[in-house]
Amino acid sequence: MRAYWLCGTVAGLGLVACANQPQSGGTAAPPAAPPAVVVQAPPPPPPPAPPPPPPTLPHGEAVLTAANALFSKVDLDGVAPAANKRYTVVVDPLIDGVSRMQTRATQQIEQRIGQLVKASYPQFDIKPLSKAVLDQQPLVVIGTFTPINQQGKTEGLRDQYRFCLAMVDLKSGKLVSKTVARSRMELVDAAPLRFFADAPAWTQDAPAEGYVKTCQASKAGDPIQSAYLAGLVATSSVEEGIRHYNNARWKEAEAAFARAQATAAGKQLRVLSGLYLSQWRQGKRDASVKSLGQLLDYGIEQGKLAMMFAFARGSTVLPADAKPGNLRPDLAEELAKQAPPLPNQPGQTRGFKAVPAEEQKADAQRAESAPPTRGFKAVPADPVVTPPQQLWVEVLARRLAADKRCAEVQGHVSRNGPEEVNERISALRAEHVRRRLVSLQPELDQRLIAIGLGSRDNLVGTGKDDASDQLDRRVDFKLLPCSG
């Protein structure tokens, strides 16, 4: 017979117990464990607010503030530089943080840094950049000088500059100091130095990107960007070549760029551009044409090549070259007149259209009767010269034809005046260049399309419309696979 416990009341204790279990061996089952109590973790604290941006100072004051902060905060593996020791320092020339060019402003900043260190930081011994000094694994100062807007971004209209100064230790492979400052824009001459102003083409490349990231995207204690370290192999020869070129020593410049090209990091924008420029200045036509082809091929390989065609302000036609015979102005003017009307919508493309047969025939006849690009003579030392833009067009046409891909020819102008006008001018310039290329290589007609982007893709963005923002008036070639 099964027995059951009867629910009982223990009145004296005020407790009520109830069991409804079968009797088994006279031993009651242990009471059930109480349910687990779940305790919610407190929410994580909110991230700390970003530090406020540095104040925008007058230019000279900003330079001294940034340089003082850089040299006073040097941390060599947790130890400040000893006052009784001498530390070798070289300056890898500062650059514009957007164009990657050396400018008059960056050159002046370097000079101010040198003066300050000599007067206030005697433990640091600044020496000229050379391979022999780099072999000693010194401290290296790098820096960018970047136009920004009120929000600190490189977009829209820019009205101030941001300094980034950093010091790297080649012995430890780390950043040992970094500082940031902001400068007002007035009275700053940001025109590029002669070497960069004369360059026919521009594209992003690894050494320059590594330089910028080492300064802008790193903090003290971080390792040096590998792309920057790899480029240092050629840096001393590259900078020697740039110095020679800026001082009209064309032969010495060519020799320095040739040494840089022979290094492991020799295939880079400044080297290829330097070889072309120094050979062109000496009147070495065949050598300069070969070097120009290598430079343009390098940009085409990157997928986007910017040509620095020098249009006169408001013009949509390339001006004549300095030497007779280097340009066909009759063809250029005629092609500009024949440019089709712009699309109604900004940025809208017209599609890949064939040039009419009679137009191609007329262009071919003019091309045959035009004088060839010979009589290539040495260019004088005068820094203001007209670049051989017809030669650029001829070599570019051949290199694009050999590549077999399609491309958007994108016109740009500086941020100046109504944007509707900017878009129209930029589109007409792009179409003018496209037609010039097609007149030389007819097969490009089905592979090139011209569009105008106005000022919406400005890189410098200051709207000065002078030498300092020449990159904003570039003509881009964006390489694309051909469809169909």
Helix (DSSP H) and strand (DSSP E) numbers for the chain:
13, 14
What lies within 8 Å, CB to CB, of 398 at 6+ separation is 293, 440, 441
Task: Give Cα separations from 351 to 407, 448, 450 (angstroms).
Answer: 12, 9, 9
Dist. CA 325–CA 285, nearest whole Å: 14
3-state SS assignment for residue 192: strand
Q: Are 459 and 304 in contact (CB under 8 A)?
A: no
As a whole number of Å, the CA-based R_g of the chain is 33
pLDDT at 385: 58
Residues belonging to the chain: 484
- Amino acid 442 reads P
Regions of the chain where pLDDT drops below 50 = 1-22, 24, 323-357, 359-384
pLDDT at 335: 39
What lies within 8 Å, CB to CB, of 318 at 6+ separation is 309, 310, 311, 327, 332, 389, 390, 393, 432, 433, 436
pLDDT at 416: 86
Is the four-CA dihedral 54, 57, 63, 64 of positive or negative sign? negative
Beta bridge partners of 476: 306, 410
pLDDT at 213: 94
Q: Are 352 and 434 in contact (CB under 8 A)?
A: no
Q: Are 211 and 242 in contact (CB under 8 A)?
A: no
Residue 382: burial class (beta carbons within 10 Å; 0-12, 13-18, 19+): exposed
pTM of the model: 0.78
Q: Which value, to the nearest 10 degrees, does the dihedral of the CA atoms of residues 339, 343, 346, 350 take?
A: -80
pLDDT at 78: 80
pLDDT at 26: 53
pLDDT at 422: 95
Is the four-CA dihedral 394, 398, 403, 406 of positive or negative sign? positive
Task: Give Cα separations from 143 to 71, 153, 164, 180, 211 (angstroms).
Answer: 13, 17, 5, 10, 8
DSSP string, 392-411: HHHHHHHHHHHH--EEEEEE
